[in-house]
Amino acid sequence: MMSVFLPMLASSWFPGETLPFLFVAMAAAFILGLAFGWIIWGRLQRYIKDHEENAERLERSIASLEADLQRAEKDKQALIEARDEALSRTGE
């Protein structure tokens, strides 16, 4: 492939000099690369932000559920103690 491309450059297949054409082509490729990189970076940042927000929401939800669990365990222990006390009064 390269051996086919080099004679085309030497024979000046593009009107005018090939150096300006190569410069423009390489500059355009570089600018397109920067543009695509910028787009991908922006999408990545948005993706990271969405996942961080989701993680914070889940952490708050877990904290709320843990508080509910502790409250339920405390209520369960209070009910067990009340049952034991009621059973001990009836058994006496």
> Rounded distance, CA 13 to CA 19, Å?
12
C-alpha dihedral sign at 34, 39, 40, 44: positive
2 has a pLDDT exceeding 70: no
Provide the whole-model pTM.
Answer: 0.54
1 has a pLDDT exceeding 50: no
Structure confidence at residue 27 (pLDDT): 92
The amino acid that residue 11 corresponds to is S
Structure confidence at residue 6 (pLDDT): 55
41 has a pLDDT exceeding 90: yes
67 has a pLDDT exceeding 80: yes
